[in-house]
Structure 1
């Protein structure tokens, strides 16, 4: 029988959470990297597909949006079922199905097939990110979940550093191998690995601390005690309360505006750079520069925000820096060097804002309600993926360039900065919403 301990010291607690993090975060981060690959590889694939299949910018914009329509429709249902089905089975189902669907993109020949396949990739991937965010609440108290969440999201920021040159290499060196085009190899090599990843996640992860055989009895008791103390008297008792909390929807709006720029750049940055005369390989290498600076800035800004406990101005300033970077990029439409410099500034701002943002949901959500609340936030945010690439494609078709799109993306980040700074000023959110969690300061 486990004994209840009340004398957990700081060193013991630090060692405990280090052990937890090294067990679960590497698995989740690797899965998230492949999530990035299978969401955004269409941005590189289009560099060859447009010539070989005759697809226009509008076709690609609609195809990208189809992914996020499927994703948004099934995001909340997936997470509502997650507590019943379990995290391990949910991740197994998501990873295997999205990997197979992504690999099946090799059979696309017509715009209709392209739309349908992208839609189903979105359907099958739905629930992954909010499921992981909910899973982290089962392992970390509020004072530690920000760092764990930031590490998880850093894998998404870090992914382009690996993905961009890999995409360029695959499409250049494997083009024509076994009578397959480079874009077909890209879908195969980035989709199929998700199947063994799903099996790995199922085998290595535990549903929660109680089922973690890799923890000692004492560690399990300590962890459950820390989590129970952290949750006592906090958060919404029912999922419905979290879904109807105005602060949840405000966070959804803010992250919608931030990832508006993230998704748009992920899908159209290769086309933007290739239009300046770069080869596919050069595009892949050049695109790593903004990502590298972005992930470095996000780690530093996120660490400083955790250390000081301040979120409001860390987010607002970072988002505004991203807006300035986007705006400056519009000034150099034919200069690849200056464009990369400006996109690097934009990446620094967006990545830092994104890392700080995800410390906020844990301040108002806990327990089972976190699954629903986080799903609402991520669904609203991800729905920008259905709008941003399509809008950028339409504006490019109308204007013949990316300048107008960069104005829109800059404006979205500026709006996110202002809304966050105003809405989450000291005490404002608490006065706006009366709920069991409203005493928690969001700023």
Structure 2
């Protein structure tokens, strides 16, 4: 008896016994699900949520399972979709493994496991595997040494990571530098004034750019010198005021021994880009999830450029709250017509509107300036983004930043929440870029 005959005979027995439905003549058996993308490991700060994603062909159903250290897998309630957003992580969740059984007409398949790790640094800063030790960097002949580190975890080669910088030299000539990480991983930085340091992921140098369909990001920096040939100094930050395009973090080494790190936390470097987008959408919900699709997979745009601006589908998101604030605070200045874009520079009012803490009688003068000088001590960061409407775009990037410090909107430095840092006699600046 041939193997083929044996299989068909067995099928016939099962059909006769009513244990298997008969197939139409000539029909092939249904294919079992095939997993094409396995759940990946996650690194979190305590209180953050993990996002696990499975990709499968021929799949019609999903059930996720979690196995805490020392325990077997148990079904995750509600975990019945390709993407799973976990509950906020506690320290005891370190090492928990997540897997999913994918079902389809032809059977079921169990995925591999993705492990949830609590990061080694409580502030979310990347370990030295993401930001290399400053001692490995050549000494500067000018102001300081820039070092560019590929922190894509093998997703992108050094030859497809680029940086660019434009500035005026001491003679007033415009200098443009643009190199791959492979070509020039170090740069002896002179005094450049205020400028932007751009980073890119692209197939070649001719493809780098800052368009809607480019992978890019930037840091803001100002490198100058005190009067009478005094010490050099630097002031800089990472920023999400315009968009998020690439995971970026930096380590600044100062002449007095101070080392400071800012930027995206280690979790964003570990996450696959698809997971970052899905986590953003799942955590924020509507209408933010739709707005996030505008520039994906190249980045996530700030609200005013992603549907929340004037004439956009979500332009009325803040309208009722703005009316309330103007009434409660007795404001006489024009109301913003674009997304929280005030006609004059009013940092405190801008910050309070974005964070949904502005509707407080006596907090502001009629012209929008701060009346209560103790306002920010009465409204600490734990009270920010606590109600709708809030700038949840900004809240997300703070949540996933080193020490939760980031520029999420203009004037986000109010209440000491920005990623802005500075020092005199800077020695080195390591810039880690992921994908």
Please indicate, yes or no, whether the TM-score normalized by the shorter chain is above 0.5.
no
Give the strand-richer structure, 1 or 2.
2
Higher gyration radius (CA): 2
Give TM-score, length-normalised by structure 2: 0.29
Greater RCO structure (CA 8 Å; 6+ sep): 1
TM, length-normalised to structure 1: 0.28
